[in-house]
Chains A and B, each alone.
Chain A
Amino acid sequence: MATPHLPRPPHWATRLLHGFCADHLVEEMEGDLEELFHQRVQIMGEKQARIRYVLDVLSLIRLFVLKQKVTEYSLLPNSIMLRNYAMIAFRNLVRQKGYAFINIAGLAVGMTVAMLIGLWVYDELSFNQYHQNYNHIARVMNQVTDEQELHIGNSLQYPLAVELKNAYGDQFTHLLKASWTQSYILSHGDAKVSKIGIYIEDGAPEMLTLKMLRGTWAGLRDPHSILLSESTAKALFGDKEPLNQFIKINASIDVKVTGVYEDLPQNTEFHEIQFFAPFDLWVSMNEWIEKRAVNDWNNHFLRIYAQIKPNTSFETISNTIKDTELDKIKNLEGLQEQVAHHPQIFLHPMSQWHLYGSFEKGIPEKGPVQMVWLVGIIGGFVLLLACINFMNLSTARSEKRAREVGIRKTLGSLREQLISQFLGESYLVVIFAFCLSLLFTQLSLPWFNGIANKDMHMLWGNSWFWLTSIGFIGITGLLAGSYPALYLSSFHPVKVLKGTLHIGRSASTPRKLLVVLQFTVSVTLIICTIVVYQQIQFAKNRPVGYDRKGLITMEMKSADFYGKYDLLRTALQKTGVVTEMSESMGKVTEVTSGNGGFNWKGQTQNQDKDFGTLTVTPEHGKTVGWQFVAGRDFSRELASDSSGMVINEAAARYMGLKNPVGEPVSWTWSQSQKIKQYRILGVIKDMVMDSPYEPIKPTLFYIQGFNGSVSWINIRLNPRVSTSQALSKIEAVFKKLIPTAPFDYQFVDQDYAKKFAEEERIGKLASVFALLAIFISCLGLFGLASFVAEQRTKEIGIRKVLGATIMSIWQLLSKDFVLLITLSFVISTPLAWYFLNNWLQTYEYRTHIYWWIFAVTGAGALVITLLTVSFQSIKVALMNPVKSLRNE
């Protein structure tokens, strides 16, 4: 019954139908459509029928015909299949123990690193949040413009505090005057401790929401009271009741303990402070405040802390108060110089104290924040390395399971079921690794706290921690599992089972790229670690210009010290364990004070920079071990030496003096216009007193009515006596002569070593991470190498039968990897050089980036790679070809 011309429905509409219609429905739909079309051709003609056909196709676009619902079977596996999946996953892990170990251990290590770093970053970002008023606390800062440069500081004047309170007091919940923090001797009976404390006005405990264990926040109202931290109270009173007991500050002032608060955690700015005392007490302890500072707009010595009212903002108040100082001083006499500097006042919110706390030319220094992000990025990279391993190994191994896929498919598994099986397996491993990493993190946290100098805890109760973890597990499992899941499930069962499946060369390209990425990161990290280490060593080995060994120093905190210099010196020398002793205004390892106003012969107009200045007793040079370049040391015998001066080489250079010895120097105090005449006695070698990374500051040493203006004692131990013996004898002398002070000393060499603490911390962290990075990368490499070796077992067997040597087979298998490592070395070299060069620029005294660092790292990476790969390749090369060729 073939008709010559049979009208056909529009072809495109049929194709559209095939496009959206589910496979199991398309046959009946199409049949119905065509049948109706033919009926309609008879009734209303071809044109109308075609239109109706198209309309019908369009009207068939309904939820139940759409492709997404491909099957009527449930995709959720029943319990029997689930058990089967679990068993298969477990058997796979057990059968390939090495592979499972590499996968899980590598991932767990990477996660641990990320978790530790995450904790660190969290700790840094949540700094100061212990205080409940965190969002409303600020410190008052001032800013002056000096020769086009902005200077920002937090030392303020007493009258400013008064003025702020009078004019704007209603904007603040608290506006508190405070002292700088300093170390004091607290004593109760025989118990003496030296603790850092602050004198601050009454509202402080409330503003800082101290957690009171005893007493109340009102404990600072009485001017002779004190609040102690828990550990301080324990040190002074042991288990006795501290409340309402009296203690002495610096052996002179009696105060009553009115409260004990819980120790502040390490991640607060006030962590070091161990006691709070009333501000008025400080004023009464220091006569000069009432005498000279209360009305002096020129005396910057005060800190002001503020808590703003909740309905306002820091910016608003900063804008209101900014000209307080300027408005006030412009009408006052003798302050015109200050007016010219345009002083401005602003609030610096607590949230920025830690990471944006220091200012360079008026702009917050980026260092601390950048450090946080840098470490965060390194952590991310280590984690990435672990994930790459996981992905690489899963994909490489998955090809071995092609046959399982084939069988499952012929037995009726749907693609979706296969996908969920493989994804499920990858999630199983990720979750297992995550649990392990929780354990690792918990175990390594004390050690990490030690390196990072922090007191961090696991955030078991923190919802962010869990959210991030779940997110991470989700992403890793998906990344690692998706390739095998999608790729394997697409196999044609017949091809797989016939054994004709060929996995092309291109399948391993992404793996190779990832290996290159891994090693680029590892090698960069290692180069960076070496250079950081070099820089620390370089600065450590910098000649310091004096003898650090056997030198101890202590602060004179008690008034008892004063006037006893000669007494102490003779008593100490009599013991035979001390060769010399001196007193000085600042620590040996610091330039604490600077002064301008010096004039000398041949001074040019623009030479008005501040010199470091240090008041010393005549024996200081002998005690510290000055090395004279010219001239002589101070002498006790010559009375004229009281107007003598010893300068360092840097000062001599700066002053431009060829023969400095004997040259006069005059010093003008700007306030009083008093002039004092000095004569240079000698020039000493430069001493590193400030940062070992900075150029040495021109420094002047002089003797000046030294009782009262010096606050450090320096003692040179007799090198022939053992240190412990010496210390106990010295202690005895101090106990007798200055009974009120604890014998609280520091070794200068240890004190000096502290200058490297920050860099050493970075160095240690970086080296740990670099080692872990290379470890993880090598794990991955090891896994890949064993996979490749296994894949080529047969090829190698044939090669051996045909006479290949072990060497040539080793070469064959190692060549690829060596190429990859070389490539990553080539990429990482300029990268590392760029970062390191930038980093080193921040130091004035810095090492070079030597070429051999790169060479050593490159060679090292190569050797490690070869060792890793060789283990596998030699194992395969040694294998008896009969074995590998026997099967099939």
Chain B
Amino acid sequence: MKGTYLGEFEEVVLLAVAIRSGDAYGAAVTSEIEQQMGRSVNLGAVHSALHRLEEKGLVNSQMGGATAERGGRRKRLYSVTIAGKRALEEIHQLRNQMWESIPKTAWS
């Protein structure tokens, strides 16, 4: 079902949108991920992830102003919706809960 499942890359992109809140667009998200994770990502992959997230209703978008560094072209600014925020929280909580469940003996 659409909207109920977040892929790993989608999660990363959604987190990046949240981090760059107010200034999240394709190129910014791409460089954010590259900086944070130290790996190079495809612009195409980021765009399709953003598109999917938007279809799932986890992010919103609107056209933003033009800047000189992109040759005067406008950018599409993304922001996390309430549903997106909740999805992130759920994942976070799920992970924590799983961490908690690891028995101490597992590491020894």
Contacts and interface: CB of A to CB of B under 8 A. Distances in A.
Given A27-B73, A56-B42, A32 B48 contact: no
Interface string A2-37: 000000000000000000000000011111111110
A62 interface: yes
Nearest to B63: A28
Contact of A28 (B40, B48, B74): B74
14 contacts: A28-B25, A29-B47, A30-B70, A31-B66, A32-B25, A34-B70, A36-B43, A55-B42, A56-B42, A59-B42, A62-B47, A62-B48, A64-B48, A64-B51
Contacts of B7: none
A440 to B, nearest CB: 52
B25 A38 contact: no
A56 B70 contact: no
Contacts of A56: 42-44
Contact of B26 (A29, A55, A58, A64): A29
Interface string A371-407: 0000000000000000000000000000000000000
A61 interface: yes
Contacts of B68: 1
Contacts of B48: 62, 64
Contacts of B31: 36, 39
A65 interface: yes
B51 A61 contact: no
B43 A60 contact: yes
A60 B44 contact: yes
Interface string B44-73: 110110010000000000010010111101
Interface centre among B27, B31, B45 (most CB of A within 10 A): B27
A52 B41 CA distance: 10
A34 B43 CA distance: 11
Contacts of A32: 25-27, 30, 43, 47, 70, 75
Nearest to B54: A64
Contacts of A35: 27, 69-70
Interface string A628-653: 00000000000000000000000000
Given A56-B42, A59-B44, A61-B44, A31 B30 contact: no
Interface centre among B26, B31, B66, B68 (most CB of A within 10 A): B26
Given A28-B76, A56-B44, A62-B44, A36 B30 contact: yes
Given A36-B27, A39-B31, A64-B51, A31 B71 contact: yes
Contacts of B43: 32-33, 36, 56, 59-60
B70 to A, nearest CB: 4
Contacts of B26: 28-29, 31-32
Contacts of B70: 30-32, 34-35
Given A60-B43, A64-B48, 12 more contacts: A27-B73, A28-B73, A31-B26, A31-B73, A32-B25, A34-B73, A55-B42, A56-B42, A56-B44, A59-B42, A59-B44, A62-B48
Interface of A: 1, 27-36, 38-39, 52, 55-56, 58-62, 64-65
B73 A30 contact: yes
B59 to A, nearest CB: 14
A36 B30 CA distance: 8
Which secondary structure dominates chain B's binding surface?
helix
Interface centre among B25, B40, B42, B47 (most CB of A within 10 A): B47
Contacts of A59: 42-45
A474 B12 CA distance: 50
Contacts of B69: 34-35, 38
Nearest to A53: B43
A27 B26 CA distance: 12
Contacts of A33: 27, 43
A32 B76 CA distance: 9
A34 B27 CA distance: 9
A737 B33 CA distance: 119
4 tightest A-B CB contacts, nearest first: A59-B44, A31-B73, A32-B26, A31-B70
Contacts of B73: 27-28, 30-31, 34
Contacts of B25: 28, 32
Interface centre among A30, A31, A52 (most CB of B within 10 A): A31
B17 to A, nearest CB: 14
A591 B47 CA distance: 92
A60 B47 contact: yes
Contacts of A62: 44, 47-48
A27 B48 CA distance: 16
B49 to A, nearest CB: 10
A3 to B, nearest CB: 11
Contacts of A58: 44
Contacts of B45: 59
Contacts of B76: 28
Interface centre among A27, A28, A56, A64 (most CB of B within 10 A): A28
A64 B47 CA distance: 9
A159 to B, nearest CB: 82
Nearest to A55: B42
Contacts of B75: 28, 31-32
Contacts of A64: 48, 51
Contacts of B44: 56, 58-62
A38 B73 CA distance: 14
Nearest to A36: B27
Nearest to A26: B73
Interface string B8-34: 000000000000000001110011000
Contacts of A34: 69-71, 73
A658 B51 CA distance: 106
Contacts of B40: 52
A789 B25 CA distance: 61
A297 to B, nearest CB: 85
A65 B47 contact: yes
A68 to B, nearest CB: 15
B27 to A, nearest CB: 4
B68 to A, nearest CB: 8
Contacts of A39: 27, 31
B33 to A, nearest CB: 12
B74 A31 contact: yes
Nearest to B76: A28
A38 to B, nearest CB: 6
A38 B31 CA distance: 12
B72 to A, nearest CB: 8
A33 B42 CA distance: 10
Interface centre among A32, A33, A58 (most CB of B within 10 A): A32
Contact of B71 (A30, A60, A61, A65): A30
Contacts of B42: 55-56, 59
A540 B76 CA distance: 89
B10 to A, nearest CB: 14
A690 to B, nearest CB: 83
A318 to B, nearest CB: 66
Contacts of A29: 26, 47
Nearest to A62: B48
Nearest to A9: B71
Contacts of A31: 26-27, 66, 70-71, 73-75
Contacts of A55: 42
Nearest to A59: B44
A55 B43 CA distance: 9
B47 A27 contact: no
A714 B34 CA distance: 113
A39 B51 CA distance: 23
A455 B76 CA distance: 72
A62 B44 CA distance: 8
A32 B47 CA distance: 10
B4 to A, nearest CB: 20
Contacts of A36: 27, 30-31, 43
Nearest to B31: A39
A528 B76 CA distance: 72
A1 B68 CA distance: 10
Contacts of B63: 28
A60 B51 CA distance: 12
